[in-house]
Amino acid sequence: MYYLLKLFPEITIKSRSVRRHMTRCLTANVRNTLRPLDQRIRVREHWDSLQVATPEGLSDATRTEVQQRLARIPGIHEVQTVEEVGFRDLDDIANRLTPLWQGEIAGRRFRVSAKRRGQHLFTSADMERHLGARLLAAAPGASVDLRHAEVDVPVQVIDDRLRLIRRRWPGLGGYPLGLQGQAMALISGGYDSPVAAWRMIRRGIKTHFLFFNLGGPEHERGVREVTHHLWQRYSLSHRVSFISVPFEPVVAEILHKVPDGVMGVVLKRMMVRAASRIARRARVPALVTGDAIAQVSSQTLSNLALIDDASELPVLRPLLTDDKQEIIRQAREIDTARFAETMPEYCGVISRRPNTRARRDQIAEAEATFDFSVLEAAIEDATLTRTDALADAPAPSPASPAELLTLDSRESLAAADQISVIDIRAPHEREEAPLSLPEVPQLAIPFYELQQQAESLPDDRRYLLYCDQGVMSRMQALHLHDRGLTHFGIYRNAASR
């Protein structure tokens, strides 16, 4: 018994030399993926398939893991569990095939798909007719349907050997990983960017991961998890990099210096500026983003063109024309949706009136006063972790939510001693919906200035952070706890719960 790996159909139509190169690359990838499970696993290369032989005595758990890994290796169209036996004639083939399939085809429409290689006294069509008749007689309620079969019964004869396919399941398809070069995917942990990275992996592109941290240790921890999942599940044959860039100071500079309507576009431009610099340093020739046309204000065609202008490298967008529901469906299929569903939305800048068609001169004027040394510092402070070490590397450890003082009513505030509330919303948000707590001392420090000002606040009081939805206040409080400033907590009124 062994596994037969059928090549992705687009590989089989390549020229002889290209096909051989792709097959050799796929063979190496399969070996690299399976070797950690058992050093005795053997992979053999054939013209139209690969053969994987596992040793006797392999545990059921290891065998199951082998099967799951094979189904996720880019370049494999189908995985088959195969047994090869000798045979004498068509009746002998029928006697071996019928017990395997009669239960599967009972009450269903089926067809026999026969392939033959070598010299025989019968043709492939003879095999299909003879075996189909035997199966039809053995399976109650079965019927033959050559065009719309519910079950396809495969049988292969190679010289004097009968290849019995006991089980078959779809592979990932695409091209062998590493064959099409490298790219660096900007990943945030939402629905879009992991799907975009996965699509590049499936097309054979060795994909590194670049994360712009807008939410402190908690944000990074969540993105590390989804990145490790993508790597371990779909690109285990290669070692790639996870790079984290501390971008909160850049966000603060944008919120201080950039006009409201173009904040989103400028933020994306700063990201691709930094990304192209980091990628060029790593000799990676392209960037990948999860942008889709018209999903948000910065993703109109005109704004995307302005964003691309800030990059020294081409920006690839595999999701550009996809609907959101299709992206979410695919995120569930590759099992990244569960990360997006539990990850808070860390939005760097939110414009009140975003410009969907920003002009080039507006962007130039907006960036004229930007302090680019802040961006340079963020690039220099970037950290790199190899994906195979993500699970073991000491990620920034957020404080436990249980450690945060959290009050959620005016009554609890009034009863507490030595408490002040800090409204961390942006100035325009405070003006539009003032926080009314006349009995409690209040401070107004926008979230993008809080980390810089927090240490100067007297530590003989407790400070509760407030924002509309409660997400930014929780993230900022956790970030401060990580720095040892444990006298900060959260205030959530009824509207923000």
Annotated active-site residue in 270, 467, 475, 480: 467
Residue type, 362: Q
Q: Is 467 an annotated catalytic residue?
A: yes
Closest CA to 324 of 295, 345, 365: 295
Q: Which residues are CB-neighbours of 303 under 8 A, at least 6 positions away? A: 264, 265, 268, 297, 355, 356, 357, 358
Query: Do residues 83 and 51 make contact, with C-beta atoms less than 8 angstroms apart?
Result: no
Closest CA to 490 of 402, 392, 390: 402
Q: Strand 49-53 and strand 42-45: pairing?
A: antiparallel
What angle do helix axes 301-309 and 263-281 make, rounded to 10 degrees?
40
Query: Do residues 480 and 447 make contact, with C-beta atoms less than 8 angstroms apart?
Result: no
Residue type, 432: E
Residues comprising the chain, all counted: 497
- Spell out a b/e string for 342-354, using b for 16 or more CB atoms within 10 Å of the CB, else e: ebbebebbebeeb
Q: Locate tokens 């006797």: which residue?
A: 56
DSSP-assigned letter for residue 118: S
Residues with active-site annotation: 467
